[in-house]
């Protein structure tokens, strides 16, 4: 992920401000807030400013996913071209849905908030939409998850974790 984020950052940096670069990266599936904060630290964007920009960038697509993805998938499955892609995306998302099914709200918070490969707001929103989780409940859980992911990624990206560890040596 970091290599993809760096490559995209280099491409976008031609003519865009650092803030716009991290905003765009935060909106992209796979990279999301995690990639945005990583690049923000490399571009020396102040942590609080970067956190705010990345949260906004990552949260913008979420209502659209929660509200419209099932209908979009339904329409796409009617075509031979897109049916396999949609089924693959649905299967992949639902394969990660066990904790969300079992713990719903808190499962969704942790799924979005713990920065592991294949997790994040995009996938969490997709799973919530496919499981037909109440949109208000899903939105709040995803937002809390984004705050958790922001804290964790700021610790990693801005060296705070190394500082905390050094306190205990």
Task: Give the pLDDT of residue 19.
Answer: 96
125 and 68 in one domain? yes
67 and 55 in one domain? no
82 and 124 in one domain? yes
144 and 73 in one domain? yes
Strands, E assignment, 1-116: none
84 and 25 in one domain? no
Residue linked to tokens 């995803």? 142
Task: Give the pLDDT of residue 169.
Answer: 60
Task: Give the pLDDT of residue 165.
Answer: 58
135 and 101 in one domain? yes
Task: Give the pLDDT of residue 149.
Answer: 96
9 and 40 in one domain? yes
Long-range contacts for 37-41 (Cβ within 8 Å, ≥24 apart)? 37/150, 37/153, 37/154, 37/157, 37/158, 38/2, 38/5, 38/153, 38/156, 38/157, 39/5, 39/6, 39/9, 40/157, 41/157, 41/158, 41/159
121 and 106 in one domain? yes
144 and 95 in one domain? yes
Q: What is the pLDDT along the chain (169 residues), one digit of tens a residue?
A: 668 877 888 888 888 999 999 999 999 998 999 999 999 998 999 999 999 999 999 999 999 999 999 999 999 999 999 999 999 999 988 888 887 888 889 999 999 999 888 899 999 999 999 999 999 999 999 999 999 999 999 988 888 665 665 566 6
52 and 117 in one domain? no
Token code pair at residue 47? 């942590």
pTM equals 0.87
Boundaries of domain holding 84 = 62-149
Alpha carbon 41 to chain centroid distance? Answer: 17
The end-to-end CA distance of the chain, in Å, is 31
Q: Each residue of 49-63: b (16+ CB within 10 Å) or e?
A: ebbebbbebbbebbe
Task: Give the pLDDT of residue 93.
Answer: 87
Residue linked to tokens 């939105």? 139
- Number of domains composing the chain: 2
100 and 82 in one domain? yes
Dist. CA 85–CA 73, nearest whole Å: 10
53 and 81 in one domain? no
């Amino acid at each position: 992920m970091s290599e993809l984020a760096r490559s995209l950052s280099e491409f976008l940096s031609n003519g865009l401000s650092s803030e716009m670069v991290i905003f765009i990266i935060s909106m992209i599936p796979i990279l999301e807030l995690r990639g945005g904060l990583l690049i923000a630290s490399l571009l020396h964007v102040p942590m609080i400013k970067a956190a705010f920009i990345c949260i906004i960038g990552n949260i913008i697509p979420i209502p659209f996913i929660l509200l419209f993805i099932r209908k979009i998938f339904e329409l796409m499955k009617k075509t031979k071209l897109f049916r396999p892609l949609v089924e693959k995306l649905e299967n992949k998302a639902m394969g990660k849905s066990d904790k969300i099914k079992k713990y719903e709200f808190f499962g969704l918070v942790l799924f979005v908030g713990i920065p592991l490969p294949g997790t994040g707001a995009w996938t969490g929103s997709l799973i919530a939409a496919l499981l037909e989780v109440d949109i208000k409940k899903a939105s709040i859980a995803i937002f809390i998850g984004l705050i958790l992911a922001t804290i964790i990624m700021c610790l990693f990206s801005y060296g705070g974790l190394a500082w905390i560890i050094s306190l205990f040596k």
